[in-house]
Amino acid sequence: MAFSFFSKSRRGEDNRKQLSGDQSDPSASGGDSPGVESFDKEMELFRQQMTPPGQFEDGFSWSSLLGALFVGALMVPGAMYMTLLAGQGIGPAAQWVTLILFIEVARRANKTLGRAEIFTLFYLAGTIMITANMALGQFHGGMSVLYFQFLAQSESMQAAGIADKLPFWLVPSDPAVLEQRSIFMRAWLPCLGLIAFTMIIGRLDSMVLGYGLFRLTSDVERLPFPMAPVGAQGIMALSEEQSEESWHEGDVERQRSWRWRVFSIGSVIGIVFGMVYLGLPTITGALLAEPITIIPIPFVDFTQQTGNYIHAAAIGLSFNLGDVFVGMILPFWAVTGTFIGLLITLVANPTLYHFDILSSWTPGDNLQATFYKCNLDFYFSFSIGVALAIAVAGAFAVTRRYRSHKRRQASFAGRGMKDEFSIPEGRGDIKTRFIFISYFCTSSLYIIVSIMLLRLTDGYIHWPVIGIMFFYAFIFTPTISYMSARLEGIAGQVLTIPFVREASFILSGYHGVAIWFLPIPFHNYGQMTVFYRQAELTGTSFRSIWKAELMLVPIILLGGIGFAHVIWQMGEIPGPKFPFAQEWWEVTAAQQAIVYSSTLGGFTQFEQALNFSYIGWGLGLGVAGFSIMGTLGLPVFLMYGVIRGLNQTLPFMVIPQFLGALLGRFVFQRRYGAKRWRQIVPVLFAGFSCGMGLIGTLALGFVFLQNSVIDVPF
């Protein structure tokens, strides 16, 4: 059925011009777009698969405010509870359910929501859900009341001598306070104040620096951002569905939008798969003693079995259909490069183990332990070198693009024409100097507050730590964010360099544990560029995002803290009512205890993690790889894909993504054409995410229903 719908859409529309927001393929005119260097045609083809409309609108409205309140009041507690219960968030559910609900309400009020309004709702819901997960400590740097109270009582932390050394501004030390299971007590005020400070400054930092990175990677470098059209196309599908009929130029009859048809097909696929993959185990887990699981979640680990043959290599396989869709969306050569990177790892790791470089690995280690130890022994330093190679390549590309941009501007100005790559009018851009001023102020505040907290905790200031903070604020964070933005813009992957924070703290010579909880300016804002690209593609003024951010902070603060208090009142966390937290939090604390104790004195394995020769290997091989591929004229996507596969992407995701890339390239592109398929698959995946989200919400309802039942003794 899906194929027939696609075929009908193709036959009826191949020779028609789409409505505003539809795309044109540069190859249709026989070359690249005017003014664009043709050093990599495939990159420009992906860039042009969806182009921004000519007009930008402000999407911030009363609907946005009501949507944010809806997500904050109904979705946030569900997400927090689901994470504690099963380790599964409902981020996509919150976004798509909110959009569909508000569109239906508007329809019954004889109104329609514009694309800009829909995108603003989409952005608000996604940001609120991400921050709600941070309230549980699920992300690095998240400030979590619930997790901090657990650390103060953790057996692993107590055994390591850390529990009684936790600073007062992190968690109260009085057991009587913790036994109350109440956040609304005076002893929690320092912690709540620090959470508020971190959230406000962090959101401002992410918004402004993310915008600056977008300007650099999208406006100057013209990177394609392959994952950006997913949300953008889904939003356009919902927007067009509000109209009963849509005109196509040259048509005699009216017909419904192809986007909505494809979105609906993807939603059905997501509902069917989600019911088996996520709904069945969640619902049966709430109703039965043991959940019924047909498809393994989140992956099958083969490392312990294959370790006897392929030493020190993490091997697993995910059966999540979403990974297959991701492989279809990402550039084919990027996914192919990732698969090649995985194959290189499978050959390199046994070799490195043979030469006693991966010395921490032992037969019998599972996937997580193998991944962790290989990073510690080799890939920590090697990744730093590769990241430096990306920086070198990025600096070269930016310099070349900037010079070309200046020449183009001069040429257009001389002919009295407008440069088509100049900043679009009405997009809501700000002057570049404001980016630098804002980032300097927020980073300075991070450092000042950290100095004050260190002084309150230790009674003195350890100046090497302050030097590290300056390094993070003005060198590391901008650099890693830019490199991550480039990798996101090319291969849809965020770049991470593991253990940088741990190694720097240990090498600083600091003695104590307070340093691990300071609000240091150690961040990676590369992924924020995708939101700005999505806003541009949907014709949403950036001012909408900035207005939304002003509204987000109080909702997230009040909602996150309030619901954390309510959930804590339901029972001990971790405890029998929260099985995922009960099973995994103590394991996580045991691993963290090893790290935190490294600054209490004595030998630590992190002292050996930084190896300058391995950094040199990564830098040399990275630069050589870029040079060779540039000389041979190979796709830029390929090299970035290889980097993505070298211990950057979890190995169990690579195989289904590569399978999706093969299906997309050699099956669907041949059936529908490259141009048509590149337009279809982001909408299909957006619908799939919506369907999965709806099933997640339904399953969550059963969980809440089961927990609301009161057992009586008669």
For residue 272, is pLDDT > 90? yes
* pLDDT of 9: 38
Per-residue confidence band for 714, with pLDDT thresholds at 50, 70 and 90: very low
Q: Is-contact 144 153, C-beta < 8 A?
A: no
* pLDDT of 138: 40
The DSSP result for 490-516, as a single string, is HHS-----TTHHHHHHHHTT--SSGGG
The DSSP result for 456-484, as a single string, is HHHSS--HHHHHHHHHIIIIIHHHHHHHH
Q: Calculate what percentage of the chain has a pLDDT beyond 70.
A: 75
Per-residue confidence band for 605, with pLDDT thresholds at 50, 70 and 90: low
Where is pLDDT greater, at 89 or 111?
111
For residue 255, is pLDDT > 70? no
* pLDDT of 647: 56
* pLDDT of 708: 57
Report the number of secondary-structure helices (H) and strands (E) in the chain: 30, 2
| 676 CB neighbour count, 10 Å cutoff | 19
**Which regions of 187-340 does DSSP assign to beta strands (E)?**
300-301, 316-317
* pLDDT of 659: 95
Average pLDDT of the segment spanning 555-573 = 79
Distance between CA atoms of residues 196 and 656, nearest Å? 40
* pLDDT of 398: 60
Task: Write the DSSP symbol of residue 57.
Answer: B
Where is pLDDT greater, at 158 or 396?
158
**Residue 294: left if φ>0, alpha if ψ -120 to 50, beta else—which one?**
alpha
Which of these, 683, 675, 690, 673, lies nearest to 262 by C-alpha position?
A: 683
* pLDDT of 43: 64
Per-residue confidence band for 658, with pLDDT thresholds at 50, 70 and 90: very high
Q: Which residues, in sequence order, are CB contacts of 343 under 8 Å at separation 6+?
A: 645
Per-residue confidence band for 406, with pLDDT thresholds at 50, 70 and 90: low
Min mean pLDDT across 68-82, 245-259, 322-336, 674-688 is at 245-259
Winning range, highest mean pLDDT, from 181-195, 397-411, 494-508: 181-195
Distance between CA atoms of residues 499 and 374, nearest Å? 12
pLDDT in tens, 298-309: 788 898 898 888
Per-residue confidence band for 425, with pLDDT thresholds at 50, 70 and 90: confident
Q: Is-contact 99 66, C-beta < 8 A?
A: no
Average pLDDT of the segment spanning 212-231 = 82
Where is pLDDT greater, at 287 or 208?
208
Q: What is the residue-averaged pLDDT of the chain?
A: 76
Task: Write the DSSP symbol of residue 575.
Answer: B
pTM of this structure: 0.70
pLDDT in tens, 502-527: 778 887 888 888 888 888 888 888 88
pLDDT in tens, 77-109: 766 776 776 555 555 666 777 777 777 777 777
* pLDDT of 127: 77
Average pLDDT of the segment spanning 391-404 = 67
* pLDDT of 31: 37
Per-residue confidence band for 211, with pLDDT thresholds at 50, 70 and 90: very high
Distance between CA atoms of residues 172 and 152, nearest Å? 8
> Reduced to 3 states, what is the DSSP secondary structure of residue 706?
helix
* pLDDT of 253: 37
For residue 16, is pLDDT > 70? no
* pLDDT of 663: 94
* pLDDT of 333: 85
Distance between CA atoms of residues 521 and 540, nearest Å? 30
Positive or negative CA dihedral for 614, 483, 44, 48?
positive
Task: Write the DSSP symbol of residue 540.
Answer: B
pLDDT in tens, 151-210: 888 888 888 788 888 888 888 878 888 888 888 888 888 888 888 888 888 888 888 898
For residue 482, is pLDDT > 80? yes
Per-residue confidence band for 376, with pLDDT thresholds at 50, 70 and 90: confident
- Residue 525, H or E segment: none
* pLDDT of 556: 78
| 545 CB neighbour count, 10 Å cutoff | 26
Positive or negative CA dihedral for 344, 346, 347, 352?
positive
Where is pLDDT greater, at 553 or 321?
321
pLDDT in tens, 114-124: 888 888 888 88
Winning range, highest mean pLDDT, from 296-305, 393-402, 417-426: 296-305
Where is pLDDT greater, at 13 or 609?
609
Per-residue confidence band for 268, with pLDDT thresholds at 50, 70 and 90: very high
Min mean pLDDT across 355-369, 610-624, 695-709 is at 695-709
Distance between CA atoms of residues 604 and 471, nearest Å? 23
Residue carrying structure tokens 């790791």: 349
Estimate to the nearest angstrom the gap between the alpha carbon of 236 and the chain centroid.
Answer: 22
For residue 440, is pLDDT > 60? yes
Where is pLDDT greater, at 242 or 178?
178
For residue 450, is pLDDT > 50? yes
- Residue 389, H or E segment: helix 380-414
Where is pLDDT greater, at 674 or 241?
674
What are the angstrom distances between the C-alpha of 554 and each of 262, 566, 623?
A: 37, 18, 46
* pLDDT of 87: 58
* pLDDT of 648: 55
Separation of first and last alpha carbons in the chain: 53
Average pLDDT of the segment spanning 415-437 = 74
Query: What are the beta bridge partners of residue 693?
Result: none
Structure token pair of residue 522: 């150690």
